[in-house]
Amino acid sequence: MERKHIEVGMTMRTIIYDGPLDKGYKAVHVALGNFDGVHLGHQKLISEMVKKARARQGTAVVATFHPHPLQVTRPQSAPKIITPPDVKAALMGRLGVDIVLMLPFDAELASLSPEEFTQKILIEDLRAQSVTVGFNYSFGRGGKGTPQLLWELGQQKGFRVKVIDAVTVSGEPVSSTLIRSSLEAGRIERAAEFLGYRPILQGIVVPGDQRGRSIGFPTANLQVAAEQFLPARGVYAAWARVGQKEAESMAVLNIGVKPTFGSGLAETIEAHLIDFEGDLYGQPLSLSLLSHLRPEMRFQSAEQLVEQIHRDVQAVRHYFHEQREHIFPHQIIEI
């Protein structure tokens, strides 16, 4: 596979794994995991690895996987992802990571035993001086590798292993599964407590049916990756960022099937950017979800829908007026 570099910020880069890490990277310290969501538990783990790398004037590397390993080993039970790869990488860059190494997870990688994975990936290709993992991490063929086995292999092969315990919020261990269940219930604020930032949807604006424009509320139709996990259907307050922060705006976001005018089958993501003017087609759009306002509803007429959208816009304006000092700037992540 061709090696690909994606510059993020001043120093961090994403590399798609295709063999040994460049020997110019010295004293490599690795955080190993899937890290979907880059939630508070992941942030603690990665930060511990970065701290160790900095203390030794080394290179802080996150080795992660795409697609999700279960999409290869058990596709019928593979979860939708909370964070697309580029969003994941940008979040890691904010934690001080030097390199995000994306390991393409395929049948060949899945077939490696824990011992083979350790020797080939961690020792030969990454030259890891230390490896940091979570308490419940599994690796190698069939997920047979455990943190204890990794520690034992480290003792034999000459690299250190640090295992990070679960991070709890309000007595609950933070996990990607818990975040998905919160999003599925439309509990955006609860998901944000576990993430440490507001949930993000990111994609490209594509043409829609122009229905919003015809009733005075033009919308941006967001096309996201097929594997993207979506929160509950309904209307949300959101913060929209166009391109590389070319423009920002409050937004009314609707996730659903447009029951008033749509077929009721195809799920769409539509955002009305409040007080925004301009052409968005083909542009990247990032939406930070702030609050679930109401469930999706079917209206008897276009007039009723317009009246409700007016109320939704006012609700979003009120939300920002009341909550802005609490949500800015620390919970709105710039990607």
CA distance 78 to 128: 29
Report the Cα 58 to chain-centroid distance in Å: 26
Give a three-class secondary structure readout of the chain: CCCCEEEECCCEEEEECCCCCCCCCCCEEEEECCCCCCCHHHHHHHHHHHHHHHHCCCEEEEEEEECCHHHHHCHHHCCCECCCHHHHHHHHHHCCCCEEEEEECCHHHHCCCHHHHHHHHHHHHCCEEEEEEECCCCECHHHCECHHHHHHHHHHHCCEEEEECCCEECCEECCHHHHHHHHHCCCHHHHHHHHCCCCEEEEEEECCCCHHHHCCCCCEEEECCCCECCCCCEEEEEEEEECCCCEEEEEEEEEECCCCCCCCCCCEEEEEECCCCCCCCCCEEEEEEEEEEECCCCCCCHHHHHHHHHHHHHHHHHHHHHHHHHHCCCCCCCC
CA distance 50 to 149: 23
pLDDT at 7: 34
Residue 85 has pLDDT above 90, yes or no: no
CATH of domain 199-323: 2.40.30.30
CA distance 223 to 95: 28
pLDDT at 77: 86
pLDDT at 247: 83
pTM of the full structure: 0.89
CA distance 20 to 214: 55
pLDDT in tens, 195-236: 999 999 999 999 876 666 666 789 999 999 999 999 999 999
pLDDT at 201: 95
Q: What are phi and psi of 111, to 5 degrees?
A: -80, -15
Give the pLDDT band (50/70/90) at residue 265: low
Lowest mean pLDDT among 144-148, 196-200, 264-268: 264-268
CA distance 171 to 167: 9
Say if residues 66 and 104 touch (Cβ distance below 8 Å). yes
Fold of domain 13-169: Rossmann fold (3.40.50)
pLDDT in tens, 162-176: 999 999 999 999 999
pLDDT at 81: 93
Q: Are the folds of 13-169 and 199-323 the same?
A: no
Q: Which residues are catalytic?
A: 270
The residue ranges of every structural domain in the chain are 13-169, 199-323
